[in-house]
Amino acid sequence: MTANGFDPGRVAYSSPWINSTDPAANCFDVYGDYARNDHQDNITQVINGGPIGVPDGWDLSQGGLPCSGSVNTDMMTSPIYSTQPNIVDMHIYPLVAGTTNTDAMVQQEAATDYGDVPQFLSDAGLTSATVVIGETYGGTLSPLNLGTPQEPNYCWLRSYQSPSGAPSDNVAGFNNESVTNPLSNFTVTFRPWMELKDPSGQCFAYGSGPGTPGNYQAVNYNGQGPYTPTNQ
């Protein structure tokens, strides 16, 4: 950061959330947190000087989520540790892994994902932190860049196709968490991933992509946000 003229104090970690192939799966990991949060749990453990790595006896049978397990001597700890930052940046792409998703599926997964996050914030002692939902989903791409059903080309994610309403589904799921301590009780900023520099590009374009009418990222949900970025 310093070498490139930036403030070294303005660096925050982030991690992707884990998607399951089973929409009903929602187990706990070795840290006692929801397994969907496991990547963020590991980063938090690194900062705390806690154990990270592959635990003994973990179970991947529930849709590929890293369930259960116990700490073993092969797990590592960082020799350098620090206090937790007051911002949590999490990259959550709500979807059922390994299949083409419908709007309903994305909404269901979003509600589960966001409903699990307060557990992480509580476990990490970060209930007063500002939460950033970075990137938010895989992107609706230009029809010129879809690839084939056998080899879908969805830019760097190379994932299954998301419905065009995925951004709205993401927010709708956020607003409809069926939990007692919803993430909507926290200070949350949605930060969509998009190309402001190339607003008509094929991957994550802000404006209308090639061959696609309208604003194909659907970033402004029903005119109310939280998808309300400024194109500048």
Whole-number mean pLDDT of the chain? 77
* Paired strand residues for 217: none
Q: Work out the average pLDDT over 129-152.
A: 61
**What SS3 class is residue 170?**
helix
Q: Which amino acid is at 183?
A: L
**Is the residue at 101 inside a domain?**
yes
Specify whether the backbone of 67 is left (phi greater than 0), alpha (psi in -120 to 50) or beta: beta
Q: Could you list the residue range(s) of the whole structural domain that residue 166 is in? A: 84-232
N-to-C CA span, the chain: 23
152 within a domain of the structure (yes/no): yes
Identity of the residue numbered 158: R
Query: Is residue 231 domain-resident?
Result: yes
Domain for residue 148, yes or no?
A: yes
Which residue's structure tokens are 């949900």?
221
Asked if residue 173 is part of any domain, the answer here is yes
Question: In which residue are the tokens 């970033």 written?
Answer: 219
Residue 133 domain-assigned?
yes
What total of structural domains would you count in the chain?
A: 1
In a domain, 10, yes or no: no
**Residue 121 domain flag:** yes
53, pLDDT greater than 50: yes
**What pLDDT, on a 0 to 100 scale, did the predictor assign at position 221?**
45
For residue 24, what are the contacts with CB-CB under 8 A and spacing of at least 6? none
* Paired residues of 147 in beta bridges: 152
